[in-house]
């Protein structure tokens, strides 16, 4: 079942593809749905992607493919929409460079844990770097993850989640006030946070001292 905004967006994208063969920009979608920011468009697209209505074409930030559309009868405007197959145009969408603004929550240690700062800043990120789900960004401080290709000054793109599997790079909040970016491992009742730099030692904590705040989904580096 789709929300009203999800229904409006998938119909708007389908109409534009049928008319021009090119998916609308995030700015155009934001204006059409009267949203305050493009991050709202990103959340709607992620929801439609998860429900199987939409697919992002690989390595093409703006290219969207409509897999199916809800019927536009009066009944379909309710949440119980009847699904029908979309009729794609022969012309493939052309690449563009849309960006999504995600919250930038200060600096995070890639070495010794430091306090994770909360802030109201937004960071523009190429939409192609983000998958489904809600994301935020943290600026990396330190060099303990250099062997994983994560450098001081990089922006870590984090998908919000409170669970992680062994070996994943996570944002770990330690005792509710310090955050660090490390490889996550469980050792019985303990949690081990591993660096990717031989100059640093693993950090071990009781399980109740550590809360997962997200998993690394990408990096943004400015030159």
Most confident residue range from 28-37, 61-70, 76-85: 28-37
Alpha-carbon span 170 to 181, nearest angstrom = 6
Q: pLDDT (tens digit, 9 = 90+) per residue, 164-215?
A: 999 999 999 998 878 899 999 999 999 999 999 999 999 999 999 999 999 9
Is 84 annotated in the active site? no
Place of tokens 């305050």: 36
Residue from 25, 30, 38, 182 carrying the catalytic annotation = 182
Most confident residue range from 36-40, 73-77, 96-100, 161-165: 161-165
What is the torsional sign of CA 169, 211, 111, 184? negative
pLDDT band at 42 (very low <50, low <70, confident <90, very high): confident
What is the set of domains in the chain, with CATH numbers? 4-85 (1.10.10.10), 99-220 (2.10.109.10)
Output the pLDDT for position 59.
47
Q: pLDDT (tens digit, 9 = 90+) per residue, 72-94?
A: 654 344 333 333 344 444 444 44
Output the pLDDT for position 117.
52
Q: Dihedrals φ, ψ of 47, to 5°?
A: -65, -40
Is 144 annotated in the active site? yes
pLDDT-wise least confident of 26-35, 125-134, 172-181, 206-215 = 125-134
Q: Would you give the DSSP letter of residue 208?
A: G
Q: Which residue has the higher pLDDT, 63 or 52?
A: 52
Residue from 144, 199, 207, 217 carrying the catalytic annotation = 144
Residue 55's contacts (CB-CB under 8 Å, 6 or more residues apart) are 49, 64, 65, 67
Residue 15's contacts (CB-CB under 8 Å, 6 or more residues apart) are none
Q: Which residue has the higher pLDDT, 129 or 200?
A: 200
pLDDT-wise least confident of 91-100, 149-158, 171-180 = 91-100
H or E segment at 28? helix 26-33
Output the pLDDT for position 66.
85
Alpha-carbon span 218 to 158, nearest angstrom = 7
| Secondary structure (3-state) at 6 | helix
Q: Which residue has the higher pLDDT, 139 or 132?
A: 139
Across the chain, mean pLDDT equals 79
pLDDT band at 113 (very low <50, low <70, confident <90, very high): low
Output the pLDDT for position 216.
92
């Amino acid at each position: 079942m789709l929300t009203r905004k999800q229904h409006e967006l998938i119909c708007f994208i389908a109409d534009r593809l049928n008319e021009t063969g090119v998916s609308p920009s995030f700015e155009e979608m934001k204006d059409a749905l009267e949203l305050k920011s493009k991050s709202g468009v990103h959340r709607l697209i992620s929801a439609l992607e998860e429900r199987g209505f939409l697919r992002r074409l690989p390595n093409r930030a703006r290219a969207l493919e409509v897999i199916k559309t809800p019927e536009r009868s009066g009944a379909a405007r309710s949440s119980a929409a009847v699904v029908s197959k979309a009729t794609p145009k022969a012309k493939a969408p052309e690449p563009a460079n849309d960006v999504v603004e995600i919250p930038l929550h200060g600096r995070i240690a890639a070495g010794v844990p430091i306090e994770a700062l909360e802030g109201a800043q937004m960071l523009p990120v190429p939409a192609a770097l983000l998958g489904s789900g809600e994301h935020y960004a943290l600026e990396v401080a330190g060099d303990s993850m250099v062997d994983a290709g994560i450098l001081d000054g990089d922006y870590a793109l984090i998908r919000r989640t409170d669970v992680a599997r062994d070996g994943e790079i996570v944002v770990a909040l330690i005792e509710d006030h310090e955050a660090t970016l490390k490889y996550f491992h469980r050792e019985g009742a303990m949690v081990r946070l591993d660096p990717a730099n031989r100059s640093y030692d693993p950090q071990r904590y009781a399980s109740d001292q550590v809360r997962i705040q997200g998993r690394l989904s990408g990096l943004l580096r400015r030159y």
